[in-house]
Structure 1
Amino acid sequence: MSWITIKTTALRWEAELMQQVLEAQEIPSRIIDLGVCSSLGMGSPVGLQVLPGDQWTALLLLSPIDEELESVD
């Protein structure tokens, strides 16, 4: 079974939060370590992976909301 990395971050808690969002929608995911970070004080980078069939749904769920705020007069 192949997996696709859809997000990378230096903050493990951020990846775990994204994983919880995907789990709530029953999208299987996993977090992988990407190696040692070269800058001091930063966490080790991690990647969030999903199955190929869930790639676009996961990306939409994790993308920022683009909505224009309408002014109320």
Structure 2
Amino acid sequence: MTWVTLKTTNARWEAEMMQQLLAAHDIPSRVVNQGMPHFGCGTPAALEVRASDRWTALLLLSPVEDDDIAQDSA
């Protein structure tokens, strides 16, 4: 099984929160430490998903587009 990095962050809790969202949609994922904790910055981490789930996971974690905002700016 091939895993791909979906997102890197300086706060492990953020990666774990995204992992919970993906788990709610039955998408397997894992959080991998990316180094040593930095004072006051948290632990750098990466969120990984299976290569076959990459695009679904990206869509689930992407910001929601609001049609009203898009129409107002046109």
- State the Cα distance separating 1:69 from its structure 2 match: 3.1
Query: How many matched pairs?
Result: 70
Name 1:68's counterpart in structure 2.
Answer: 67
Rounded to whole Å, the distance in 1 between the matches of 2:68 and 2:13 is: 30
Rounded to whole Å, the distance in 2 between the matches of 1:66 and 1:15 is: 22
Instruction: State the superposition RMSD in angstroms.
Output: 1.7
- State the Cα distance separating 1:51 from its structure 2 match: 0.2
Question: What TM-score comes out, normalization by structure 1 length?
Answer: 0.84
- Residue deviations 1:7-43, cap 9 Å, x none? 1111111111100110010000000001126x64211
Please state which structure has a larger fraction of its residues in helix.
2
Q: After alignment, is 48-57 or 60-69 more displaced?
A: 60-69
Question: What TM-score comes out, normalization by structure 2 length?
Answer: 0.83
5+ residue gaps, structure 1: none
Task: Indicate the SS of the match to 1:69.
Answer: helix
Name 2:40's counterpart in structure 1.
Answer: 41
Task: Indicate the SS of the match to 2:26.
Answer: coil
Task: Indicate the SS of the match to 1:27.
Answer: coil
